[in-house]
Amino acid sequence: MDIQGSVALVTGANRGLGKEFVGQLLERGAKKVYATARDVSTITTPGVVPLALDLLDQASVERAARQAGDVTLLVNNAGISTGQNLVRGDLAQIRREMDTHFFGTLGVTRAFADVLGNNGGGAIVNVLSALSWFSWNGATSYSAAKAAEWSLTAGTRVELAGQGTQVLGLHLGAADTDMMAGYEGPLLKTSDVVRAALDGLAAGSAEVLVDDWSRIVKAGLAEDPAEFYAKVAANQL
């Protein structure tokens, strides 16, 4: 994917990683960047095209696709974390996480798939997580939603290959964003995360693992689950 001269659309562009994506895309020569949020008044980056888009409102998603028919790069960044566990958590919040990360991402991808195809193929970046690959007590709902989005990323990569659309999955541990407020562990700089994503995009990568945490966790998929989760419980990863 050649970012120079591209037309990008970033969901959840009003803060955190989304805002950083917008800034770095402009720095790398994107011709136009649609910065989306539910409330466009929260978009503060100069030089962008603010666009209303709510992942949980398919009519809003389809309207955005009609308004942004020149897009060549889609960044599915918008997400939430509700801090729910699957068995005893608030089911409405669990559904909200799945609706956002899986069905929301899928809805945006479906709405823009033909747009990308008509504009030469382009690319999609899905912002995932190391928690796509393991569950953390206190946020098992988020892990399930991100695991579903990881599978969605693989599925759409297979389906859209024929039209020349690159689909990149971005995995990271904890980044310095509002979502991670209160987290006491080390935090990645948002600038480093987005730089790694865009470098991977330019290199034609299908997946970018930003940090050692993500690489260790993915490698753990090949381990016996009992042994892996014993390490998690003992903080030995």
- Mean pLDDT score, 179-193: 73
Token output for 71: 């897009």
Full residue range of the structural domain in which residue 31 is found: 7-233
Written as six digits, the tokens of 199 are: 């470098």
pLDDT of residue 185: 64
Q: What is the CATH number of the domain that holds 108?
A: 3.40.50.720
The confidence score (pLDDT) of residue 33 equals 98
Average pLDDT, the chain: 94
pLDDT at 26 over 80: yes
Tell whether 153 is covered by a domain. yes
Domains in the chain: how many in total?
1
Give the residue ranges of DSSP H helices in the chain. Answer: 16-27, 58-67, 91-98, 105-118, 140-160, 190-203, 212-219, 225-233
Is residue 2 domain-resident?
A: no
**Interval 122-177: pLDDT, tens:** 999 999 999 999 998 999 999 999 999 999 999 999 999 999 999 999 999 876 66
d(C-alpha 149, C-alpha 126), whole Å: 8
Average pLDDT, stretch 187-216? 94
- pTM greater than 0.85 (yes/no): yes
Would you say how long the chain is, in residues? 237
Asked, for residue 93, whether it belongs to a domain, the answer is: yes
**Bridge partners for 171 per DSSP:** 209
CA distance 66 to 171: 30
